[in-house]
Structure formats: C-alpha cells, structure tokens
Structure 1
Amino acid sequence: MSFAQHQSDEKPKATLPSLQPKSVLERATQAAAAAKRNSTAEARATPPSSASAESQAAEKPMILGIPPQELTPLVRRALKHLSDQVASLKSDRARLVERLRRAEELADRDTLVPVFNRRAFERELNRVISFAHRYEVQASLVYFDLDGFKQINDRFGHPAGDAILLAVGETLAANIRESDLVGRVGGDEFAVILAKAGPEDARKKGAQLAEAISRTEITYQGHRLRVGAAYGSYCFESDDTGERALSRADEAMYANKVGRKIQSL
C-alpha cells in the first residue's frame, strides 16, 4: 500500500450536524417568543391615525341611548323611519288643531251675518261681565231692533231681508272698537258689548250706531232699501248674568221704541 493511500485511510471523518428533532418544550418556547415579537412589531406598525380614529369613535355620543358601535345601517334606517313618522304625526296634529279652530269659529258665527250668533254672544257676554266685576270696571250692552224690516220682507221677499241684515251687521262691525263685540241675537235683533263703557257712554254709542244703521242703504232689484233701529242700553251690575243683561237691554230698547211711537203721534 502506498503512502498516499495510507494518508487517505488515516484522514479523520467530518462530523455531520445532528438531524434529530428538537424536544417539544424547546419548540413551544421558541414559538411563543416568535408570536410575541410579531405582536410587538404589528403594534409599532399601527399608524397613529388609526388609534386616534378608534378614540374618536369611542367619544361619539349615543343616539337615543344606542351606542355608536351599534348604529349599523339597519339601525340607522329604522331610526330614520321613526323620525319621519314623528314628523308626520306632528304635521297631522297641526292640521287637526287648525281644523278644530276653524270649526269652532264657524260654530260661533251667525249663518248669514259675519258676527257672533246668540250662543257665542252670550258666552262672550258672561266673560265680559265676570271681567268687569273682578276688576271693578264698567261695561255695557246695547240692544237693537230694526224698524221697517218686516215690511221689506213682506214686499220684496226674504232675499231682500237677508241683504238688509248683512248690511246692518257690517255697519255695526265697522263702527265699534276692537275691544267691542257684535252679535245677532234674534231675527232682526242685534246687540253690541261695549268694553269699559259706563251708562252715559253706552247711551251715546247706542245713538251713534242707530244713526249709522239708518244711513245704511242697499239696492235690491232696482229699489233703494233702508231700515231704522230702536235701541236700548244697559250697564252691567255685579250680580248680572248674560241672559239677564240681554233681557234688561231688550226692555230698555222696547221702552225707547214705545217712546218714539208716542212722540210721533
């Protein structure tokens, strides 16, 4: 055997790395360390704006007690529907209130003349009497009965009489203060409430209104028609009622009418 062969045979063999698997404990420890490193890296990589957005979302106020995170598109649609329903109910209520106001106004108005009917007039009369008694102020009532109205009705018919009543009601309404009230209390009978007016003021106002009525003229089928008016005034007393005040003013009107007839003889 040669020297070269001898050297080759005596060369030590290289040590190969171990291919045996690591123990279970060692592998678990390494996996936990790797997961921790990944979590730390992800936290560092998270942009500040994302954290800020999450903080702002947490600070958003609740809507109707619902947290922001629960306001899904479905919940928002439900809230929008509910809001629309509430708005619709408010609108319906406003319309009903307006209709009720109009109905009450129509119920208070005379069917022919744009003044209070007797029911509404007596209601307002009682209010004024109570106010006058409570605050110790004077208020009065003037009662009117139209002269010559029956003759117009008999000769020209009810449409002519209706036109006269309408003209008289408009004349009275145009010649009183905003604080006064006009009502039609009978077929051809009207009454006026005079706020803060004593006996003398009521007599003067009654005469003025009667004169205004006598000057009121309408043209019906080519005929010029007018009526006169007898009046009586009454100043309220503390124990009066609306019905009693109307009766007293009516009595004063009748006495005035009889006196005028006697004077014309």
Structure 2
Amino acid sequence: MGYAKRILGNGDGAASAVGDGIIPSDPQTEQFRRNLGSEARAAAARHIVTQALAFADEAESRIVALNARIRQLEALALTDELTGLLNRRGFHEVLHRNLLSAARYEETGLLAYIDLDNFKSVNDRCGHAAGDEVLRTVGSFLSRSIRATDYAARLGGDEFAVLFVRADHRPARDRAREMLRDLGKLRIACKTHRISVRASLGLAAYTGETQIEHLIDRADRAMYADKKNGGRAARLTTLG
C-alpha cells in the first residue's frame, strides 16, 4: 500500500500517477539507478582497458617482429649470400670501425687479400655449380681458421679478405701464410676429378695512423704482385 501510494502520489505533487508514465523516484530507487550506472561504467572501463592492453600486446609483438626483420635485412645487406661471410660493404664497415679503434687505442692489425688462381677454368671445365662449391668451401675454411675477433669476407667473384684485428704484425703475417698453405690442401669434387684450391695472397699491416684507402691499395697491389710472380701460390688446378 505504501508503494502504491508513492506511485499514485500523496497529493503534494511529489509523485505522478502511473497513467502519466512517470517512474517513481524514491531514494532507494535512485540509489539503485546510480549503482546500476556505476557498474555499467565500471564494466565499460574494464572493457576499454582490456582492449587497450590487448592492442598494446599486439603492437609490441609487431614491433618485435619488425625489429627482427630489420636486423635480418641489415644482416643480409652486409653478408655474402653464397658463403655466409661479410660482403664488400660489410667488410668495409668493419674495416672502417677497426681503423678508428686502432687510432683511439693505438692498436695494430693486418689486412690479407686472397684471390683464387685460375678460378675461371673451374667454371669452364666443371660448371658453375662446382665453382660455387669451391667458393663455399673456401668461405667455410676461412670462417674456421680465424679468431672470433677477426673478420673474413668475400669481396666479390673469387676475391676474399681477412682482417686480423688487435694483432701484432709478424704473428698475423705468419698466420695468414699458414692459412694460405692450408687452403691448398682443400679438395672439392668435380665430376670425375678433384679441384685443388690455390690462391694469391697480399698482406698490408696497419696502425692507428693508417688510412683505409691506403691500406686497401697496399693489400691489393701486394696480392697482384704475388699472382704475377707466382710466389707462394700455385694455380687452381684440376687433379685426376
């Protein structure tokens, strides 16, 4: 009866008749409405936060994947695809960085240029697949033969380079010549033959005062002099 009176009104204009379509607005009802509104707003806020967190997680995952892809592309840009060694661009970056380090910390090192002899004859006699296998084998040999702090590169074609960093000149020269001798022990299958690898070697030492262009030129000229003179390097031959 009390509820009906609240609905129908008590004559003082505080409430309207049911027929007028006005919903009663006593304190309990208003509190109920406020509670419903607060819960709805809280639920909506939780939903927004959940969506924002999910979006943030997805964005973070995409950023991680994108950064990994960027690093992969950067590595590819500096790496020779056939051998896995540094390419010319990557090697020049390494060379530049280590010459700066040498200038700052008074370090010394050695640049070795290695050029395979008569490599064209391998492609002509055994095919390009055999030539690629020779290059891969040489690249793998150089990777295994250097210290973790040194660098090996395929500069293009049949030309390779090794940078001995923070190394005394004489021991580095001895190591480079030893590597050249061991290179000559490699044998690669070619149809019914075996390919014996021979190469020419050019060495150029550097200090903190060495300019990169001068260092490269000296190593390159030394390598061609070795090739011309036949020096320590024989030729890349096909053995029966």
Q: TM-score higher than 0.5 here?
A: yes
Shift of 1:83: 1.0
Q: Name structure 2 gaps, 5 residues minimum.
A: 1-37, 235-240
**Match of 1:116, as an amino acid?**
L
Report the counterpart of residue 194 of structure 2 in structure 1.
224
**Match of 2:111, as an amino acid?**
L
1:188 paired with 2:158, answer yes
More relative contact order in 1 or in 2 (CA 8 Å, sep 6+)?
Answer: 2
Identity value in percent: 35
C-alpha separation in 2, matches of 1:139 and 1:263: 23
Q: Which has the larger radius of gyration?
A: 1
C-alpha separation in 2, matches of 1:238 and 1:217: 39
- 1:63-78 pair list within 5 angstroms: 72-78=42-48
Shift of 1:117: 0.6
1:184 aligns to what SS in structure 2? strand
Partner residue of 1:129 out of 84, 87, 99: 99
Partner residue of 2:62 out of 88, 92, 96: 92
2:184 aligns to what SS in structure 1? helix
Report the counterpart of residue 165 of structure 1 in structure 2.
135
Conserved 8 A contact 2:79-2:87: yes
Conserved 8 A contact 2:226-2:232: no
Deviation string, structure 1 residues 135-157 (Cα, Å, up to 9, x no partner): 00111111111123122122222
**Match of 2:60, as an amino acid?**
K
Shift of 1:262: 10
1:112 paired with 2:82, answer yes
Greater alpha carbon shift after TM alignment, 144-153 vs 131-140: 144-153
Q: Name structure 1 gaps, 5 residues minimum.
A: 1-67
Conserved 8 A contact 1:206-1:232: no
Report the counterpart of residue 73 of structure 2 in structure 1.
103
**Match of 1:78, as an amino acid?**
I
**Match of 1:234, as an amino acid?**
A
Conserved 8 A contact 1:115-1:184: yes
Conserved 8 A contact 1:199-1:233: no
Deviation string, structure 1 residues 200-220 (Cα, Å, up to 9, x no partner): 122111111111211111112
1:215 paired with 2:196, answer no
Shift of 1:236: 1.2
